[in-house]
Amino acid sequence: MVTLQEISALYEKYVMETYARANMMFVRGEGTRLYDADGREYLDFAAGIAVCSLGHCHPAVTAAIREQAGKLVHTSNLYLNEWQPRLAQKLVNHGFDGVCFFCNSGAEANEALIKLARKNGSEKGRYEIIVMNDSFHGRTLATLAATGRSKYRVGFQPDMPGFKFVDYNDVEAIRAAITDKTAAVMLEPVQGEGGIIPAAPGYLKAVRELCDEHGIMLLYDEVQCGIGRTGTFFAWQNAGVAPDALSMAKALGNGYPIGAMMASQKYAHVLTPGTHASTFGGTPLACAAACAVIDAIDQENVLENVKARSAYLVEKLSALSAKYPCVKGVRGQGLMLGIILDQPAGAILSILRENGMIALSAGENILRLVPPLTITQEDCEKAVALIDAAFAKLNA
Ligand SMILES: Cc1ncc(COP(=O)(O)O)c(C=O)c1O
């Protein structure tokens, strides 16, 4: 039997140390549960960082991966494959009239967004993108330069030029930053890594109007908040304000790596043959997995579940602030929730782990909860009890 000690020794010797990892190893997952090598069960409110939105090893997604893996895995984008346009059609049918470019990760999807905006603005000398403080867009050099959480850029300067930072939820700051070099505004409809900060009511509409007034593109990064996480298929649908282009990744393959950039019809032909590419982008295997994910979201009333479970969690978790002074409130949208603390989330996360529950941190003092979107009422009740008990222990 595989042991934690054996694997941890291998890791230390052979794997580059770029992650602050807990010394834990999961060997199996099913729905909302993870199991370690000793058979211990954990309630998973992290979902692989908002990735496994249908829970671990969803039967329909597993079946689609198994079937396609036995038929055809990869052919390159020099030929058609049957699943790529089917997936694009499903995404479009969920409310965004446009076309898709497929890739493999969130950062890669955002690179495509940035290239789209630059290419579109190139003839007019418009290359600057207005981005947000506290945003997170990825770890490649361009997405890092667009990331407002400046600590991630330390040691990698000089930053790629062309990004201007303003405060999130401040329309006037965007207005003041616009020049004749501005190509686009790029933002997350709910900031994730920055601390689970939703767009304020009216903000997206005002940014849309400003972009239209100046003829610049509005780009959404829906890598974390998209694909049902906030209770609508695309997060922007909560406000009803469509972008010109958007990125997604994480939950699209429920753990099978796939990312996508969608551009509206107006910008459908900005990137032409030879201007952008990805060897592994949109393989038959990745797209078959993502098609199964979208079908399951539709067939299993996942969006309704998100809304109902979210209302319960927000009510119960908000009540904890009356009991524990370190809890300052709850914010977020759908099943992308943050408990605001007066201290870093590390201590509460380790108590939760000891008691059999996995969650995450975000921003400086946020306990982030991003469970599978298929979570049951019973599991939400269990999570609330575990979180309550963890705060009681922390305060004891
Ligand atoms: C909003 C957002 N954009 C981009 C990324 C980067 O995605 P990836 O790690 O798949 O490159 C993340 C990852 O957390 C994210 O939350």
| pLDDT tens series, the chain, 396 aa | 789 999 999 999 999 999 998 989 999 999 999 999 899 999 999 999 999 999 999 999 999 999 999 999 999 999 999 999 999 999 999 999 999 999 999 999 999 999 999 999 999 999 999 999 999 999 999 999 999 988 999 999 999 999 999 999 999 999 999 999 999 999 999 999 999 999 999 999 999 999 999 999 999 999 999 999 999 999 999 999 999 999 999 999 999 999 999 999 999 999 999 999 999 999 999 999 999 999 999 999 999 999 999 999 999 999 999 999 999 999 999 999 999 999 999 999 999 999 999 999 999 899 999 999 999 999 999 999 999 999 999 998
Residue tagged active-site, from 96, 101, 136, 163: 136
For residues 192-227, b (16+ Cβ closer than 10 Å) or e, as one string? bbbbbbbbeeebbebbbebbeeeebbbbbbbbbbbb
Q: CA–CA separation, 53 vs 246, rounded Å?
A: 19
**Please, how many CA atoms are within 13 Å of residue 23, restricted to the half-sphere of its CB?**
8
Q: What beta strand segments (E) does the chain contain?
A: 26-30, 33-36, 41-44, 98-103, 128-132, 163-166, 182-187, 190-191, 197-198, 217-221, 245-248, 259-264, 327-333, 336-341, 357-358, 360-362, 366-369
Question: What's the length of the chain?
Answer: 396
Ligand 1 binding pocket includes 222 (Cβ within 6 Å):
no
Task: Write down the residue that tokens 């998209």 correspond to.
Answer: 226
Residue 125 to residues 112, 218, 237, 267: CA-CA distances in angstroms?
19, 17, 32, 17
For residue 102, indicate whether it is catalytic.
Answer: no
Residue tagged active-site, from 90, 250, 379, 391: 250
Helix (H, G, I), strand (E, B) or coil at 139: coil
For residue 298, indicate whether it is catalytic.
Answer: no
According to DSSP, residue 343 is labeled S
Atom of ligand 1 lying closest to residue 259 CA? 10
CA dihedral 112, 117, 122, 125 (to 10 degrees): -140
Which of 49, 187, 224 is the pocket-test mutation for ligand 1 (most atoms within 8 Å of CB)?
224
Ligand 1 binding pocket includes 221 (Cβ within 6 Å):
yes
Instruction: Tell me the two tokens of residue 305.
Output: 């579940």
DSSP lists the bridge partners of residue 218 as 185
Q: How many helices (H) and strands (E) does the chain have?
A: 13, 17
Ligand 1 binding pocket includes 193 (Cβ within 6 Å):
yes
Ligand 1 binding pocket includes 331 (Cβ within 6 Å):
no
Q: CA–CA separation, 396 vs 391, rounded Å?
A: 8
Instruction: Tell me the two tokens of residue 152.
Output: 């991630």
Instruction: Tell me the two tokens of residue 182.
Output: 């501005």
Q: Can you give the C-alpha Rg of the chain in angstroms?
A: 21
Q: CA–CA separation, 190 vs 230, rounded Å?
A: 9
Atom of ligand 1 lying closest to residue 49 CA? 14
Residue 59's φ and ψ, nearest 5 degrees, are -55, -40
For residue 45, indicate whether it is catalytic.
Answer: no
Task: Write down the residue that tokens 């043959």 correspond to.
Answer: 273
How far apart are the CA of 107 and the centre of ligand 1, in A?
A: 6
Which of 131, 135, 137 is the pocket-test mutation for ligand 1 (most atoms within 8 Å of CB)?
137
Atom of ligand 1 lying closest to residue 108 CA? 11
How far apart are the CA of 338 and the centre of ligand 1, in A?
A: 17
How far apart are the CA of 396 and the centre of ligand 1, in A?
A: 36
Domains contained in the chain, CATH given: 60-299 (3.40.640.10), 302-344 (no CATH)
How far apart are the CA of 118 and the centre of ligand 1, in A?
A: 20
